[in-house]
Structure formats: structure tokens, C-alpha cells
Amino acid sequence: MKKRWYIIYTISGLEDKVKENIEKKVKLTGATNIVGRVVVPEEIILDATKKSMERHVLSPEAKVHVKSGSNVEKGQLLAEEPPVHARRSGTVEEVKNYRRITIETMDRKYQKIYNVPESAKIETGIKVGAVIRQGMPLAQNGEYFSELSGRIVNVEKMKRVVVRSKKGEEDVYYIPREVFESSRIKKGIKVKAGELLAEGKKYYAQSSGKAEVRDLGTRKEILISKTKRKKLFPGYIFIEMVMNDEAYSFVRGIPGVYGFLMEGRKPTPIKDKEARAILRLAGLEEYETKKAEKIELDFNIGDTVKIISGPFEDFIGTVKEIDPERQMLRVAVTILGRETPVELHISEVEKIE
């Protein structure tokens, strides 16, 4: 007999544990002939508030390892700067602690980078996110001032290394303190042209979330919006199985399983369209993704739309929220008799007049 998709129910909050119990029993007994895949559909909720946003400011030369829209896990490598090599041979003349402060205008069109020695005593209010006005001091010694009004987007501890060649030419390097090795670079040592001064700084995700990569010409940025998972159907588990007395008893006897969704006194399989949506949500079935082109917004709250790509392809839904800047819609579709909100790009839906 062909396996169909059915719904079993449990206590809300125990879905993953019950799924684990089912899969463990199937593996131990070899009952793959009657029980197939088990799915607990989840929705990824994006928290795009500034407080939850993780931001990494990179140089234009940085190599980025993630793409916009990709999900990243805490500790994952996001990007790395190129290593620092000596441009010319010479002698290390100076090694000092500096603070690199990056300020950009509110419209994000202009930015200015200041390298300020720690000995100048950085002002206490100089931190990422702080608003600053033109002429405000960056340090207490009265020598460093902001030349523009805007917001501080990056503050980084650096080592300023000065190498002087035999001809008296001076090369200055700013090396992030995380990758600076005092055993390699000391005042008075000689370096050769092309010699490695420091490995490239690596950037790792401090939290799990969704990545957005921006190339702003003078720099690159990676923004991580924190996400959390929410069960789409609390208390329900979807199971692929052959429905007969043996299979029914097998599943019903697993700890945490309280029964099947029934129609009358008989477990009822879900519709093929609904099963397809569940599989796509769980990443078990591929689907075509429409290219996110720039499209004129022509949607209003309450509009009825047809989904033309993605997990809920061919479903009809109602527009609940509109994000013009991201060209995204939050659409409510009905699946298994329950209203389910999904986030879609406007290219993934068509309006029903």
C-alpha cells in the first residue's frame, strides 16, 4: 500500500520529543515499510528591530562567505579580511595602540574613518550607534574632532605599525588587535617585502539569524537579524505511513502520541496540496523560487492573492501586512482549517481581482 500523510497530536511543546520517539522506534524495529517521514513544521520569525540587529563593518576587500537571505548559525564564519603583508623591506619603528572610529552621515552617503591613539584618551561616549555632531571631540586631548554629523557605525581596537625602509620611506599598517601577534611584530625587528605581518581578521556570527549583505563601495556590511522558530501547528505532528491496524497500533503506542486526527472513527489523510506545502516548509521537497525583481507595489491590506511559487504554491490568501522597503507581504493562508501567516516577496504572488 502507498504511504499517505496523517496528523497525530500531542501536548504542545513536546512535538520534537515525540518526533524523536517515533523515529527511534522505527529505527530500532526496522518498521520503515509502514512508517516514513515525520515532520514538525516551523515558522522562522524575524526580529528586525535595531536592538536585535547584529552588524559587522568590513573593508571593500573582505571576502564574504554568506549571501543575503541565508540563515546563519551562531559561530558560523561570515567573512574574512585579507592578510596584511609588508609592502617594502624595512625596520619596525613604532607599534602603538589605536582606536579606529568610523562615522557615517544619517543618509549613509558619506563616511569618515578616524585613527585615534589610545594615549589621546577616547571620549567615553564614543561607541557604536552613538549620534555625533560636526565639531564634537573624539578624544580628550583636544586634537581629534568629527568633521561631519552622523552616527558611529564602528569602533575597533587596532595596532598601528610603522615600518621605515633604508631610504627613509615610511609604511603605516593598522592591524586589528585580535590578529596582531606581538611575537611576530616588535619594535626594532626587520621585515622583508611581502612578509606576512598578520593573518586576516575573521568575523563570526554572534547569534543565529538571517543575513543581509550590503556592498556600499567604501565598505561592506553584514547585518544579522535574529530569528526564532515557532511551531506552525502547536500540538500536531505530520507522519507519512501506511494506514492499517498494525501501523495504527505501532504509532499509537509510542510515548507522547495521544491519537490521530480523525474523521468519524477513522484516521483521515490530508490533501495532497496540503502535504506538499508541509514538505516544502520542512525542506523535504524542492520548489521553484521566483527571482526577486523590483516590481511596482500594487497591493493593499485585505487584497486576495494567489501564491505562484514557494511552499504554498497554488494557495489563496489574504494580505495582512505590507513592507514596501523590502517588497515583502505577510499573507494569511488556510491550511488544515487553520489560518497560517507566511512572508512572501511580491514576485511570488499575483493579485486576484
Cα separations in angstroms, 110 against 148, 219, 343: 9, 11, 33
What is the pLDDT, as a whole number, of residue 46? Answer: 64
User: Which ranges of the chain would DSSP assign to H, the alpha helix?
Assistant: 15-29, 245-252, 272-281
How would you label 32-45 residue by residue, b for 16+ Cβ within 10 Å and e otherwise? eebbeebbbbbbee
**Mean pLDDT to the nearest integer, 236-259:** 94
**Mean pLDDT to the nearest integer, 313-324:** 88
pLDDT score of 51 more than 60: no
Residues 140-155 have pLDDT tens digits of 999 999 999 999 989 9
Residues 252-308 have pLDDT tens digits of 999 999 999 888 888 999 988 888 888 887 766 665 544 444 444 578 899 999 988
Q: Which of 157-166, 201-210, 215-224, 311-320 has the highest mean pLDDT?
A: 157-166
More confident residue, 98 or 232: 98
**Cβ atoms of 154 and 176 closer than 8 Å:** no
What is the pLDDT, as a whole number, of residue 55? Answer: 86
List, in order of start, the domains of the chain with CATH numbers: 1-41+232-286 (3.30.70.940), 50-226 (no CATH), 287-353 (2.30.30.30)
Q: 79: burial class by Cβ within 10 Å (0-12, 13-18, 19+)? A: buried
Helix (H, G, I), strand (E, B) or coil at 285: coil
Mean pLDDT of the chain: 88
pLDDT score of 345 more than 90: no
What is the pLDDT, as a whole number, of residue 293? Answer: 41
